[in-house]
């Protein structure tokens, strides 16, 4: 019985470690927030659907760059929730996701936090997944008192072209645009 339990635990740990090594963050912690949200947008585009999604990139000056970036990605995951009250979620909810970013390979490159006197707050963070020195993913967190947005792009990313993804496939313009400059 102990051996079976140990094998099961080891299998779960290996699976969790393998998932973390590809730059994908488990966003299931946010599912309960979706139930409380007055508005929600959830986008899940895995590798098998990215080829199809690239066909929907609108024509424009950044279209070719966006299609090139998309062709190398493994997934795009976006969650955006808006709430009617300031206390709809807590820092514990945010920290459940941030805890995954403390693992090896993740580096925080942007951090901005503002706390208002009335209890309102704003938090913006950007992390890069860089196993072996190459960018293999990005995670963007934008939290405000009544809104929470996260973007997880999995796969090799060239920061010089990242701005081309802003406004495409559910990625907010401001999540990608400032990094690509």
Q: Give me the DSSP letters along the chain.
A: -HHHHHHHHHHHHHHHHHHHHTT----GGGHHHHHH-SEEEEEEEEHHHHHHHHTTPPPSTTHHHHHHHHHT-SEEEEEEEE-SSTTSS-HHHHHHHHGGGGSTTEEEEEEEEEE-TTS-EEEEEEEEE-GGGS--EEEEEEEETTEEEEEEEES---GGGGGGGTTSTT--HHHHHTTT-
Give residue-wise pLDDT tens across range 103-158: 779 999 999 999 877 778 899 999 999 988 889 999 999 999 999 999 999 999 87
* pLDDT for res 125: 96
Give residue-wise pLDDT tens across range 63-86: 777 777 788 899 999 999 999 998
Q: Is the pLDDT of residue 173 over 90?
A: no
* pTM of the predicted protein model: 0.75
């Amino acid at each position: 019985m102990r051996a079976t339990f140990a094998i099961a635990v080891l299998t779960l740990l290996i699976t969790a470690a393998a998932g973390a090594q590809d730059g994908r963050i488990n966003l299931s912690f946010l599912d309960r927030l979706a139930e409380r949200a007055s508005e929600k947008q959830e986008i899940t585009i895995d590798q098998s659907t990215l080829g199809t999604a690239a066909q929907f990139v609108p024509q424009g000056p950044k279209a070719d760059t966006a299609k090139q970036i998309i062709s190398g990605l493994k997934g795009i995951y976006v969650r955006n929730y808006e709430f009617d009250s300031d206390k709809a979620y807590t820092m514990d909810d945010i920290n459940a996701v941030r805890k995954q970013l403390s693992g090896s390979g993740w580096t925080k490159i942007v951090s901005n936090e503002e706390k208002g006197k009335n209890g309102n707050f704003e938090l913006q963070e950007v992390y890069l997944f860089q196993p072996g020195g190459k960018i293999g993913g990005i995670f963007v967190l934008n939290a405000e008192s009544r809104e929470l947005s996260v973007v997880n792009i999995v796969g090799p990313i060239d920061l010089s072209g990242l701005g081309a993804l802003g406004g495409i496939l559910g990625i907010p313009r401001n999540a990608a645009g400032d990094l690509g400059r």
